[in-house]
């Protein structure tokens, strides 16, 4: 499977916010995420880094 995990970058480090992410859309200072089962999450921030081999999406809050 090729799902990823999404993390929010905080002062304390990376905090996992979603597993099994299959859809990512950055738009107007927000990142829209959707998982394998259709659950959606909207995060205020921008994509800082995507580690495709590690299946990891890192989002930095605004």
Task: Give the per-residue pLDDT at 2.
Answer: 80
Other residues' Cβ atoms within 10 Å of the Cβ of residue 58: 16
Q: Three-class SS of residue 60?
A: strand
Task: Give the per-residue pLDDT at 1.
Answer: 65
Walk along the chain (62 residues) in steps of 10 and give the mean pLDDT of each run. Answer: 91 95 97 97 97 97 86
DSSP string of 13-50, one letter each residue? EEEEEEEEEEEEEEETTEEEEEETT--EEEEESEEEEE
**DSSP secondary structure letter of residue 57:** E
Task: Give the per-residue pLDDT at 18.
Answer: 98
Domain ranges of the chain: 4-60
């Amino acid at each position: 499977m090729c799902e990823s995990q999404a993390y929010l970058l905080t002062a304390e480090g990376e905090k996992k916010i979603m597993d099994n992410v299959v859809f990512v859309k950055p738009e107007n200072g927000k990142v829209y995420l959707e998982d394998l089962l259709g659950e959606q999450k909207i995060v205020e921030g921008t994509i800082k880094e995507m580690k495709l081999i590690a299946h990891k999406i890192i989002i930095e809050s605004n």
